[in-house]
Structure formats: C-alpha cells, structure tokens
A = this chain, B = another copy of it.
Amino acid sequence: MSNLEPTVRTTLSRRKERGSYDRDTVFGIIDEARICHVGFVHEGHPFVLPTAHVRVGGAVYLHGALRGRMLGAACAGACLTFTLLDGLVLGRSAMHHSMNYRSVVVLARGRDVTDRDEKAAALAALVERAVPGRSREVRPPNEAELAATRVVAFAIEEASAKIRSGPPVDLASDLEARCWAGVIPLALVAGSPEPDPLMRAGIAQPPRV
C-alpha cells in the first residue's frame, strides 16, 4: 500500500531506522490499540488524556461530551498517540535496557462531524471496535443522545510509526558477561467476561464477547 508523506514534524530525529511511513503499518497499530492518548494545548500548556478511538478509512474518530475541553482544543491542533507495549528488553548493561513497542503519532486538527449519518456511523464503529457485531445487538443512540455527543474526525495524513522489536543490542564488550539477557514479552490480554449483576436471567453470553 502507499506511503504517508513524511513532514518535518513526523520525521524522526533519533533512531530513524525504527520509523515507518507505511500506511498499512500505521493503520494496523491504530486498529490494534484499545485507546489513544490525545495531546492538546490549553492556555499554552500541554495536556494528554486517554480516550477510546476508532479508525474508519483514513480518519480516526473520537467522541465525547459536547462541552468537554479535550475535543474543542483538539480541533485547533492535536497529537494522537497510539502505543502497543510488546515487551521489556533486558540487556547486559543498564544502558541497553529498552522496550519493544509499536507506536503511531498522528498530527492533525480535528474536524467536527456534523453530518448525522457520519456521526452515527462513527459511533456504531466505536461499539463494533469493542466487540464485532455488537452495534446490532444494542440500542442505538437516540436523537437526544446523538445531539449530546460530539464526534471529531482526524485525518491520518501527517503520521508516522515507530517500532522496536527483537532482542537487546548490547555492546560487543558486554556479550561475555554472565548475565541473563533477553525479552519479557508483554501483551494486553482479555480475562473472563464479568456479567452485569443487573442482567435478567437467561441471557446468553454472545460468542464474540
């Protein structure tokens, strides 16, 4: 697939070999991440808040309350960061400890989604992102709920991925050390579903939950 065009702001200044502008790579990391961290500037100061997201085509959609500070500020300029932590990298020297990760940074101004259908589709996609098929099992938003929810789209155009994988990279002079070295893999894992205590009897757990 095509590459994203690097800009001054998305060109890595360090560890360039870890960078990627491949659209599939960027989209894949965004899709695997369960949350993103939204950076915005409010009264000159940086803020970072975690939130749910979904990608639809070439855009990331966020949602929130109509009056929330985050989305308003993000329309003036935001940084959306998606991080998958894949492992702890244990080198033979303190200096060569690291982490394996895949991350994406998207720089964009948010666009308020005012079209009713685009808004409803983005909210349905957010629910689908939690569990595929679920948007057809739950009550969709009514008009009052739609009106009370702000949906903002961010084009994935000025974006880059950064990836570290594999074993530690130690100095040659450290390789003889009698010290265990390697990677402890990490992954976000789902546990057993916990049914809502208020649920009526006889409702089966859907297979995809």
A90 engages B141 (CB within 8 Å): no
Contact of A194 among B77, B92, B126, B182 (CB under 8 A): B182
Interface residues in A83-111 by Cβ distance below 8 A to B read 83, 85, 87-88, 90-95, 97, 99, 101, 103, 105, 107
In the complex, what distance in Å separates the CA atom of A179 from the CA atom of B183?
42
Secondary structure at chain A's binding surface: helix, strand, loop or mixed?
Answer: mixed
- The 4 closest A-B CB pairs, nearest first, are A39-B48, A185-B191, A39-B46, A48-B81
Query: Residues on A close to B: CB < 8 A?
Result: 9, 13-14, 34-35, 37-41, 44-50, 52, 65, 67-69, 77-81, 83, 85, 87-88, 90-95, 97, 99, 101, 103, 105, 107, 123-124, 126-127, 130-131, 134-135, 137-141, 145, 149, 167-168, 170, 174-200, 203-206, 209
Sample (18) of A-B pairs whose CB atoms are under 8 Å apart: A14-B65, A35-B101, A37-B39, A37-B83, A44-B77, A49-B81, A50-B103, A87-B194, A90-B209, A95-B141, A167-B197, A170-B196, A180-B205, A182-B195, A182-B199, A183-B193, A183-B196, A184-B194
Known: A90-B130, A90-B134, A183-B196; 7 extra A-B contacts, CB below 8 A, are A37-B83, A46-B77, A47-B79, A167-B196, A181-B196, A181-B199, A185-B192
